[in-house]
Amino acid sequence: TKWVFSFGDGRAEGKAGDKNLLGGKGANLAEMSSLGLPVPPGFTITTEVCTHFYANGRSYPAELKGQVEAALAEIGRITGKAFGDPERLLLVSVRSGARASMPGMMDTVLNLGLNDETVEALGRESGDERFAWDSYRRFIQMFCDVVLELDHEVFEEILEEEKDRKGYELDTEFSAGELRHLVALYKEKVEAELGKPFPQDPHEQLWAAIGAVFSSWMNARAITYRRLHNIPESWGTAVNVQAMVFGNMGETSATGVAFTRNPSTGEKALYGEFLVNAQGEDVVAGIRTPQNITEAARIAAGSDKPSLEKVMPDAYREFVTISQRLEKHYRDMQDLEFTIERGRLWMLQTRSGKRTAKAALKIAVEMAAEALISRQEAVARIDPSSLDQLLHPTIDPKATREVIGSGLPASPGAATGEIVFTSDEAEEASKAGRKVILVRVETSPEDIHGMHAAEGILTTRGGMTSHAAVVARGMGKPCVSGAGGLRVDTKNGTLMAMGVTLKKGDMITIDGGSGQVLKGKVAMLQPELSGDFAQIMQWADETRRMKVRTNAETPADARMARSFGAEGIGLCRTEHMFFDGDRIVAMREMILADTEAGRRAALAKLLPMQRSDFVELFEIMAGLPVTIRLLDPPLHEFLPKTEEEIEEVAAAMGVSADKLRHRTETLHEFNPMLGHRGCRLAVSYPEIAEMQARAIFEAAVEAAKKTGSAVVPEVMVPLVGLKSELDFVKARIDAAAKEVMAETGVTIDYLTGTMIELPRAALRAHVIAETAEFFSFGTNDLTQTTFGISRDDASSFLETYRQKGVIEQDPFVSLDIDGVGELVRIAADKGRATRPEIKLGICGEHGGDPASISFCEEVGLDYVSCSPFRVPIARLAAAQAAV
Ligand code: PEP
Ligand code: MG
């Protein structure tokens, strides 16, 4: 087996495509070398050795030693040097390199091969004894830290003592002789601490460093990093061994990092920093202020330190040429590392550069314009979720964040305001022109007005599909939910967080993108939706097959969704239309009435409100499909809770508060989510469905007259498990349609369909499709009922599950493709078997999640429907799924 791949001198045994085997760094070093770029020669020990290492009690394959020797000899041949030979000194660096970049997982070892003998050779060859001893000193420190696990602080102490003794301020004041003495002290220390001398044999050093890199794959830092970034343990890391080049050989040497385009704005201009007479670690360490690479950047930054363009014009020109060549070759913005040794440029790394969402759009659009990539590739380059950053105000990355707590990133965007603890306070404050954050343990339908009035919502309980999260997303308001570390004391008007006690009126900021809660007011950046954003969206629309609709019930949401490109409404949750103002009283009347006559009286009040809402929605969505779902209220959300509310409803109904209290108690349910909701309500009280259907059809007639374009309402029945349930409700819908048509003399085309949100419905979809003209997958409930996990209580333990690695992702956020997805697939297939032209869509929260959207494309759904602010994300994700 080939375990070692060499590169250098215009050749390489590997290539950019070998990332799995060689890691990202190794594959790109090989590629650059093949391109004839100046890369210090070296070799990569493959990730398969890492796998072997762990599968065989931390031992190496038998052939490895010979292959490493041969590769070292090859470096020697290219450089005219020999590893371990003081006469022809060859020093190497040893670095890890996994498939995915894992910054900080494992430190680098530089200058490997130095010992008491070779240090003299380095002094002779470089003509700089001081440099040689300083390199040796650094090497001992680095090697001990990374390989021998001897903390670098023991050396810092020695260094400081010596500085004090000499009265020096800076390390650079030491002479060569003094550094030699320091090295002696370092070595004594190593022997005292470890009970054996610092290894002098370069080969012993090399194998110890290789072993340290492989071992680092399983250190705590790496394990945590992998968990956070979903990197499988089985990938392993590669090890790169490379001839040293020195950026610290005096004033004609330098080291730096650069991006081929600006990673924060996307502007097409080389962007980077360097330090004269320094090694790579010095740039990162941030002790010295780096200089700009280009003159233009120096001027823009107002820096008085000369640019690379000025101080080393030849190396600069070569670097510009190489960076342009690499960008063309990889067809993407590159992140580069380089070293200049005595005027000679060496490339140490290239990789695709990380960038902000804004920069990603600009770079993709401009690269397509430059014909470097196709439009389709431009669309594929953008991470759909990152668009969230662009649709809402975000926290200025330059601002300082004083984090006082964190919860779930329930609805994106950042918001700042005064703390208020009740919805009434929120409304009052907002009427007075003050900006507030509504802070609650959890929210309920009675908080709608407060949520509307607030800039953002913070709850200490509840998950990603809690009331607060769903409603906030719908409204496009930032929300952090389930911030369990915070304690709300509504009575005393305080919020306790990490030792800080905040009062009502104090300023806080929430970041719904990260879930962070910050103290005070923080600087924000405003969204921008034209330009590059609009261009990528247009290209995405040309590519995708699935339609993108929105979940909306208020005109404001519907309009916003239209402006984001929604192609209709996929879910109008009619019960949400009754949260506001006096409507909730009429709604409660209807729920609490104990006779049909009582209900009809309340329904008569609701009908005109409902009709006018629908007319408005039909007008906003003129010509586009609108799916209206019949009432699906988990009753507990609507029952009056306070004494005041009970009295209010009692008065409206003309009954005693006592009687109403009793009725409320009768309606109490132990599991409201599995209780008297959805179509069950329509079966118990058909007059509700009749009223709603009537409102829909009357509105359709009216809106068609107003807009002049036909309205084809899609009437949707929730929580169906039996075909007979749907048949029962459909009979009422059809009857209402007939009546309205007879009354108005206008023919109405409409569809009747159902949500698929119960496993039974999915399994019996072929039968249900005999009646249903469309299915809309309600994956919130389908996830809840498939897993048997309450969507309201899930967050408390699902996070623990995630942390312990029992599940990878919250199934309420990203569709569980194996389980819930299987039911979706079954239902889609069965539905089409009965009714080939059946319309299929999804309207659970997953309709705005890119991974779930990709699955929807795979099973051939006709559309996805999501909250307004997710519409652009869904458009892009649907386009990416289609190619
Ligand atoms: C669902 O269950 O996925 C759904 C869209 O309905 P709701 O969230 O209103 O229960
Ligand atoms: Mg549902």
Judged against a pLDDT cut of 90, whether residue 53 lies above it is answered with yes
Residue 679 annotated as catalytic: no
717 by DSSP, 3-state: which?
A: strand
What does the chain come to in residues? Answer: 883
The domain spans of the chain are 4-243, 254-355, 393-525, 544-573+609-630+680-882
pLDDT, residue 666, reads 86
Q: Which atom of ligand 1 is nearest to the CA of 718?
A: 6
Joined together, the tokens standing for residue 606 give: 């609701």
Exposure string for 90-122, b = 16+ CB within 10 A, e = fewer:
bbbbbbbbbbebbeebbbbbbbbbbbeebbbbb
Judged against a pLDDT cut of 80, whether residue 286 lies above it is answered with no
Partnered with residue 352 across adjacent β-strands are 334
Task: Choose, from 572, 843, 856, 866, the residue flagged as catalytic.
Answer: 843
CATH assignment of 393-525? 3.50.30.10
186 by DSSP, 3-state: which?
A: helix
- How close is the Cα of 658 to the center of ligand 1, in Å? 34
| CATH class of the 254-355 domain in this structure | alpha beta
Count other C-beta atoms under 10 Å from residue 284's C-beta: 12
The CATH-assigned architecture of domain 4-243 is 2-Layer Sandwich (3.30)
CATH assignment of 544-573+609-630+680-882? 3.20.20.60
Annotation-wise, does 802 bind a ligand?
A: no
- Same fold for the domain at 393-525 and the one at 544-573+609-630+680-882? no
Mean pLDDT of 729-733: 98
Annotation-wise, does 780 bind a ligand?
A: yes
What does the pLDDT look like over 607-625, one tens digit per residue? 999 999 999 999 999 889 9
pLDDT classification of 649: cutoffs 50, 70, 90: confident
Assess contact for 795 and 464: CB atoms under 8 A. Answer: yes
Annotation-wise, does 570 bind a ligand?
A: no
Nearest CA-CA partner of 361 in 477, 260, 262 = 262
Annotation-wise, does 781 bind a ligand?
A: yes
Nearest CA-CA partner of 45 in 91, 7, 102 = 7
Instruction: Note the pTM of the prediction, 2 decimals.
Output: 0.81
Which of residues 324 and 398 earns the better pLDDT score? 324
**Which residue is listed with tokens 């080393």?**
312
Q: What lines the ligand 1 site, CB under 6 Å?
A: 571, 573, 632, 757, 778-781, 843-844
- How close is the Cα of 844 to the center of ligand 1, in Å? 5
Partnered with residue 271 across adjacent β-strands are 259
Look up the ipTM and state it.
0.99
Residue 467 annotated as catalytic: yes
Assess contact for 748 and 740: CB atoms under 8 A. Answer: yes
- How close is the Cα of 780 to the center of ligand 1, in Å? 5
What does the pLDDT look like over 761-788, one tens digit per residue? 999 999 999 999 999 999 999 999 999 9
Closest residue (by CA) to atom 1 of ligand 1? Answer: 778
- How close is the Cα of 577 to the center of ligand 1, in Å? 15
654 by DSSP, 3-state: which?
A: coil
In degrees to the nearest 10, what's the CA dihedral of 311, 314, 320, 321?
Answer: 180
- How close is the Cα of 299 to the center of ligand 2, in Å? 58
Annotation-wise, does 74 bind a ligand?
A: no
d(CA 647, CA 670): 24
How distant is the alpha carbon of residue 293 from its chain centre?
Answer: 32
Closest residue (by CA) to atom 6 of ligand 1? Answer: 778
Q: Which atom of ligand 1 is nearest to the CA of 571?
A: 5
pLDDT, residue 283, reads 64
Task: Choose, from 52, 392, 467, 576, the residue flagged as catalytic.
Answer: 467
pLDDT, residue 812, reads 93
Assess contact for 24 and 98: CB atoms under 8 A. Answer: yes
d(CA 637, CA 7): 66
Count other C-beta atoms under 10 Å from residue 165's C-beta: 9
Positive or negative torsion for Cα 486, 488, 489, 494: positive
Q: Which atom of ligand 1 is nearest to the CA of 784?
A: 2
**Residues around the ion ligand 2 (C-beta < 5 A):** 757, 778, 781
